[in-house]
Amino acid sequence: MSGADGKVVAITGASSGIGEATALELAGRGAAVVLGARRADRLKALAEQIHASGGRAEVLPVDVTRRTDLEQLVATAVDRFERLDVLVSNAGIARTGPVAELDVDSWDAMIDVNLRGVLHGIAAALPVFRRQGRGHFVTTVSTSGLKIVPGQAVYAGTKNAVRTLLEALRQESTDGALRTTSVSPGYVRTELADYIDDPGTREQTQHRMAALGISPDAVARAIAFAIEQPDDVEIGDITIRPTTQN
């Protein structure tokens, strides 16, 4: 099956930013989307927007740190649309600061969301993909894992762990039934920086996002490109960033 039309796609972190843009992009191309995030009110508003445009959408409050939430997201897709073609694991958080600050709570939070949350999605969707004989994992990583800079050691570490995980899964799944895609955005105008604890770092990052950042729609189009390839074609890695980003 090529193209997005008719595919069933579950998306985590769908209430804003890249996740929201991806939901709108794929629904506009004819996919049925199953949307998960913690902010149920924003999910409901997004689904209403998709429905008003003639699209198909289901929503479910999801915290990716809870394995059962991912199981319910996958089950919702299968129950409502009889299958799941793609899982877009987009939920993520960023906490920055030197390792020497020993902000262990932030380390734990990033590991739980950025890495464990992806693993929970794989654990929930992989049996469905195997049963169907087809499935696609698309995961938002980051250019922070490609260019290592001070202050982002643990954040970049979680993203590179996911990159490694998906590559190993790809090598374990070369029977043609499973595809994996890592998408590494650079500066994108999202809410990610709004949750950085240090005020100075938060302001600096927000300024750079505002000055350099590309629209989440650009990343959504890249994700759609990977999904729309024929089943025998895998787009393993996509790096998408502003032309002015170092």
User: Helix or strand or coil: residue 237?
Assistant: strand
Which strands sit side by side in the sheet containing 32-37, from one edge to the other?
A: 56-61, 32-37, 8-12, 86-89, 135-140, 178-185, 237-240
User: Which tokens belong to 9?
Assistant: 């796609």
| 155 labelled catalytic | yes
Q: Where are any strands of DSSP class E within the chain? A: 8-12, 32-37, 56-61, 86-89, 135-140, 178-185, 237-240
CA distance 132 to 141: 26
Task: Report CA dihedral (98, 102, 108, 114) to the nearest 10 degrees.
Answer: 10
CA angle in degrees (0–180, nearest 5) for 88-61-54: 65
**What kind and span of H or E run contains 154?**
helix 153-171
Which is the catalytic residue, given 107, 129, 155, 187?
155
Burial class from Cβ neighbours inside 10 Å (0-12, 13-18, 19+) for residue 4 reads buried
The per-residue DSSP string of 37-74 comes to ES-HHHHHHHHHHHHHTT-EEEEEE--TTSHHHHHHHH
User: Known catalytic residues?
Assistant: 155
